[in-house]
């Protein structure tokens, strides 16, 4: 665990978290494992800071942030007096991983309270707790929290107990927000003063491109200014394969608004079909190692954000 550096926006945090979750699953690291690591890490830090034999209230929502809270409860319950509040109907828990961790808790006899009625919560004494854990809403929620989260936050704010937030305080940056004594953000800092908890994702996976990066791509906005939607270099094509280059250019043009190409002379006809393609063809029927200095020069000269390499680079039948 490390002290957080510069925070990122909630939109960026939500995007990066989604990409990492999808890519981790793709490369074999399941979300259930990440949830276990997250909950165990938060529970261990609570024990390290405050010790055991505490009375702890854990407030959970219906998503993965709540699932993290279920794991926290499981790891703290043996040495503490834990009450878990689920703000909603257990049948509406909306992720498989959270449902599995709720099912584990159902097989225990520790105290669980589920409600969506703010007036029901008003009857409970939150001041009885030494520690309150916020696992209500994560980075996927924006704006002022709705009921029953809003009333719960307001009631918790009246207490003087220690408050711990999982990943990010519920309602962060809105008028109704949890005020935490400390927040443990996963992977990267997501709010002021957050400490970062790593979840065991190898850097090789975290830095690798995967389906999560594709999933977040959006079509270019119609009112985007030149360059706002990114700059892409498409490197490919040959005298035998021209269609792949054309398809790649069409796809890139739907996302980025500046699409450059490095392709050999026989692809000039395909290039002319794509008005968004910028640049001139390189000499020769195929791209070869000798073209590399010019390709690198163009990527740097045009300040490309990304490069698509490979469509149509083959030599054709009998080629090596």
Residues whose CB is less than 8 angstroms from the CB of residue 212 and which lie 6 or more positions away in sequence, other chains included: 18, 19, 20, 21, 22, 23, 26
pTM of the model: 0.72
Q: For 2-206, give the CATH class.
A: alpha beta
H/E element, 214: helix 211-215
134 touches 178 (CB < 8 A): yes
**Within a 13 Å sphere around the CA of 282, how many CA atoms are in the beta-carbon half?**
24
Q: How far apart are CA 117 and CA 150, in angstroms?
A: 11
H/E element, 182: strand 182-186
Starting at the edge strand found earlier in the chain, the sheet holding 131-135 runs 2-3, 195-197, 182-186, 162-166, 131-135, 55-60, 81-87, 111-115
Q: Is 103 helix (H, G, I), strand (E, B) or coil?
A: helix
Residue closest to 113 by CA, chosen among 127, 96, 125, 97: 125
From first to last of the 320 residues of the chain, give the pLDDT tens digit. Answer: 555 455 567 777 777 888 888 888 889 999 999 999 999 999 999 999 999 999 999 999 999 999 999 999 999 999 999 999 999 999 999 999 999 999 999 999 889 998 888 888 888 999 999 999 999 998 888 889 999 999 999 999 999 999 999 999 999 989 999 999 999 999 888 888 899 999 998 888 888 878 777 776 665 556 655 556 688 999 998 888 888 888 888 888 877 878 999 999 998 888 888 888 888 899 988 898 999 999 999 999 999 888 888 888 876 665 55
Name beta bridge partners: 223.
none
Buried b / exposed e along 205-224 (16+ C-beta atoms within 10 A):
bbeeebebeeeeeeeeeeee
Q: What is the pLDDT of residue 1?
A: 57
Q: Which backbone phi and psi does 85 adopt, to 5 degrees?
A: -110, 120
Q: How far apart are CA 19 and CA 200, in angstroms?
A: 16
Residue closest to 197 by CA, chosen among 153, 165, 152: 165
Residues whose CB is less than 8 angstroms from the CB of residue 104 and which lie 6 or more positions away in sequence, other chains included: 70, 74
Q: How far apart are CA 60 and CA 134, in angstroms?
A: 7
Name beta bridge partners: 277.
259
Residues whose CB is less than 8 angstroms from the CB of residue 151 and which lie 6 or more positions away in sequence, other chains included: 118, 121, 122
Domain layout of the chain by residue ranges: 2-206, 221-309
Alpha helices per DSSP H over 51-112: 64-76, 96-106
What percent of the residues of the chain are helix, what percent strand, and what percent coil, each to the nearest 5?
40, 20, 45
CATH number at 221-309: 3.40.50
Q: What is the pLDDT of residue 222?
A: 60
Residue closest to 191 by CA, chosen among 10, 31, 17: 10
69 touches 135 (CB < 8 A): yes
Q: Comparing 2-206 with 221-309, is the CATH topology the same? A: yes
Q: What is the pLDDT of residue 220?
A: 54
Task: Report the residue count for the chain.
Answer: 320
């Amino acid at each position: 665990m490390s002290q957080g550096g510069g925070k990122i926006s909630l939109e960026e945090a939500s995007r990066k978290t989604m990409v990492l979750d999808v890519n981790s699953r793709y490369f074999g690291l399941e979300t259930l494992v990440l949830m276990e690591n997250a909950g165990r890490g938060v529970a261990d830090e609570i024990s390290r800071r405050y010790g055991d034999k505490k009375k702890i209230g854990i407030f959970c929502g219906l998503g993965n942030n709540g699932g993290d809270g279920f794991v926290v409860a499981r790891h703290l319950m043996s040495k503490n007096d834990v009450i878990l509040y689920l703000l909603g109907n257990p049948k509406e828990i909306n992720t498989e991983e959270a449902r599995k961790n709720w099912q584990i808790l159902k097989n225990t006899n520790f105290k669980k309270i589920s409600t969506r009625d703010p007036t029901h919560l008003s009857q409970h004494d939150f001041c009885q707790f030494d520690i309150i854990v916020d696992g209500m809403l994560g980075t996927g929620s924006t704006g002022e929290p709705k009921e029953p989260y809003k009333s719960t936050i307001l009631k918790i704010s009246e207490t003087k107990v220690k408050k711990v937030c999982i990943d990010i305080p519920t309602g962060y940056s809105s008028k109704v927000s949890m005020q935490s004594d400390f927040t443990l953000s996963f992977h990267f800092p997501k709010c002021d003063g957050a400490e970062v908890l790593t979840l065991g994702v190898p850097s090789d996976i975290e830095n690798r491109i995967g389906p999560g990066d594709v999933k977040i791509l959006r079509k270019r906005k119609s009112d985007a200014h030149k360059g706002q939607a990114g700059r892409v270099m498409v490197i490919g094509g040959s005298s035998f394969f021209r269609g792949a280059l054309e398809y790649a250019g069409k796809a890139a043009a739907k996302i980025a608004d500046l699409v450059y190409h490095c392709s050999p002379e026989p692809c000039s006809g395909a290039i002319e079909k794509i008005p968004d393609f910028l640049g001139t063809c390189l000499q020769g029927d195929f791209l070869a190692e000798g073209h590399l200095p010019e390709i690198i020069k163009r990527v740097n000269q045009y300040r490309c954000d990304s490069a698509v390499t490979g469509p149509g680079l083959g030599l054709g039948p009998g080629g090596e």
